[in-house]
Amino acid sequence: MGFTFVDWTILFLYFAGTMYMGIISRKRVTSVEDFLVAGRGLNIYVGVATLLATETATITVMNFSEMGYLSGFAALILAIIAGGVMIWVGRSGFLIEKLRGMELMTIPEYFQKRYDRGTRIICGSLLGIGVALNVGIFLKFEALFLAIMLGIPIQSLTLVMTILLVFVLVYVLLGGMISIVLTDFVQFVFISIGCLIVTILLLFKFNLSDVIKTTMMDVSGGGLNPFNSPQMGWTFIIWQIVLQIAVWTTWQTTVMRMFSAKSPEVGKKIYLWTGVMMIGMFSIPVLWGIFARAALGSSVASSQAMPFMLSKILPTGFKGLIVAAMIAASMSSYSGYLLGWAAIISQDVIMPLKRKEMSSSSQIWLNRFFVLFLGLFILFYGLWYKLSESIFVYTSMTANLYLAGTFISILSGIYWKKATTIGAYSALIAGTIPIISFFFFNISAEVAGASSFIFAIAGMFLGSLFSTESEIKNAKEVII
């Protein structure tokens, strides 16, 4: 398999260290606030590490490398948009500063404060479904990456990925956000070192001028202009900008770091510096995809090209390093998503339905139950679902199912005095229509994605317009 005793020793020490951090974190969890938002004590340096580690999974590397393979250097615009939008949100504090000031633990919690309990439940349900579909494919493509890198049958990876998921579940169940923050810092180091060293090695292996020439000749649209790329274009770029604004301000796993920060100012700086580093981290897999196109041509499946290229080019020691880095990336993402996802279902769907308030310890155990349940769902859904579109499009669209209506409802609730509860209901429901149409009626991704925000805006405006005077008056009284 190309793995030496040293490689396996590194992996063993990494897993042992992760488990140890989960065990010691358990002693620090005394309330549901500790479990979900780390007692709101996150500083800038740890915050940047944990946020970047969560947003850089193996699926992210596969995602961006596939776009690099298909679109060439034009795909770098996606990394620039993701990091650039986060920098802008961090500098301006757009939405996140006000949300952090409300002492929230989840995004749907805002809906009950601004609108009513029903909108909170609908928002939480949409987020639960969206994240379930989004994260559900992670396991399959991470198994594919490891199978190709290790040279073993994909069937054997089911057991390996199950073991990996069990490790994640254990330390999340024990320490919640505190254990995630501690382990993410270590995982961030693994990811950064592994990606940087492999990229430098590839730059030595390839002649960059030859890669550019090959890309311009082999990739549709020349591989340089994103607005002329068959996979992108003007509508796609505009949709991605709006989508990224919505992601960084309302996506639960991201804003949980803001909610965990010591103060709104610290949270803004976490966003700012994460955005700066994200441009580099997301550009790296795009380059790997471009190198894969130059090395393998267009005959390989786009989702498999990058790992095939790495397995053929990297020496044995470097294979172990990149596998360790990708496992670290996967663990950090699973942990963040599982906790954020469980928090939504328990705090924003189950809790609002209960008449009697649960104790803090009972809430912790409820969250732990859903972490376990959702981990099992990821395992089985990933093995069952057959992806018919690119990874990038699939993850964008499943996230969009929740983001459009939620983003417009929060934006309107904070900045528009006439936003009402009926408007919020209408925005949440209307925003899902184009996304559902994409999956069932073969509408193009960029049209469906952009339309979801337009539908949500129309729903908010029309719903608020036809609200009664008493509803508008009540809405004004709870403006933040």
CA distance 105 to 143: 32
Q: In 267-320, at which residue ranges do the beta strands (DSSP E only) sit?
A: none
Beta bridge partners of 261: 42
CA distance 171 to 299: 41
CA distance 188 to 277: 12
* Contact criterion met (CB below 8 Å) for 254 and 55: yes
Backbone torsions φ then ψ of 42, nearest 5 degrees = -75, 130
Closest CA to 439 of 381, 406, 403, 400: 400
pLDDT of residue 15 exceeding 60, the answer is: yes
89 vs 382, more confident: 89
Run of H or E residues at 361: helix 360-384
Calculate the average pLDDT of the chain. 80
Identity of the residue numbered 127? L
42 vs 53, more confident: 53
282 vs 40, more confident: 282
Confidence grade of residue 119 (pLDDT, cut at 50, 70, 90): very high
Tokens of 413: 């609730």
Summarised one tens digit per residue, pLDDT across range 348-380 is 777 777 667 666 677 767 777 777 787 788 777
* Contact criterion met (CB below 8 Å) for 109 and 271: no
pLDDT at 410: 95
CATH number for domain 5-386, candidates 3.30.420.40, 3.40.80.10, 3.30.200.20, 1.20.1730.10: 1.20.1730.10
Task: List the domain boundaries for the chain.
Answer: 5-386
Q: How far is CA 404 from CA 119, 125, 239, 478, in A?
A: 14, 14, 11, 23
pLDDT at 74: 92
pLDDT at 92: 93
pTM of the model: 0.82
Question: Helix 157-205 and helix 252-260: axis angle, to 10°?
Answer: 80
38 vs 379, more confident: 379
Beta bridge partners of 42: 261
